[in-house]
Each structure stands twice: as C-alpha cells, then as structure tokens.
Amino acid sequence: MSPLEAAGLPLYAPHLGREGELAPVPDVVGPGKAAPGVGNVDPTGFEALVKDAVVKANDQVNRADHASREFAAGRVDDIHGTMLELSKADIELRFAGNVRNKVIDAFYELWRMQI
C-alpha cells in the first residue's frame, strides 16, 4: 500500500500508474459545472488545488524514499539531509491530506445546498 493510499487519498485508475505514483486525477463533475474533458482542469478550481498538493506530496515521498534507500545502502552518508527529506515528506503528505479533506467538505456542503 503506497503512502498515498494509506493517507486515504484515492488512486484513480491505478493500473495506469506505476507503484507509488498517482495516475491522472479525473475532474470532479459538480453541480452547475459543464462536464469538462479528462485533463481539462480549471486552474482556479478546487480540483487543481488537490491535484497540485497530491503531485507535490508524491514527488516528495519519492524523494524521501530514494534518500532513505541511498542512506540504508551506504551510498550516501548524509544524516541531516535524509532526516530533512523524510520530515518534508511527512509535512507534504499531511498538507495534501488536509487539502483533500477541505475540498471534499466544501463539495458536500455545496451538494447539500442543492435542495
């Protein structure tokens, strides 16, 4: 289970992405919005926020993973560098998780307002 799954962030179409990588996030079709094509993300919308946070988190998690493996294998000796990468990954992941939660909360609030 990749850290992103463990954090509750959904992996759409996992067969499209390699392990640990996020496949493209399809757009959320919400009320009052025209159905956009896949990949046609409104840069000012909520989806862009989530996607951006998740992509950044994914990159940082990969970097932290790489740094830890390099250190464990003895190829690098950088203690504080490795610890920093791990901390950054933790923070990015938490940030992405919270962005996602906030976006979902906002979406459901809008959804409830329908009636």
- Chain residues that interact with another protein, rule: CB under 8 A: 76-81, 83-84, 86-88, 90-92, 94-95, 98, 101-102
Q: How far is the CB of 85 from another protein (least distance, A)?
A: 10
Q: How far is the CB of 110 from another protein (least distance, A)?
A: 20
Structure tokens at 75: 């190829």
List of residues 6+ apart from 28 with CB closer than 8 A: 46, 47, 107
Q: How far is the CB of 115 from another protein (least distance, A)?
A: 29
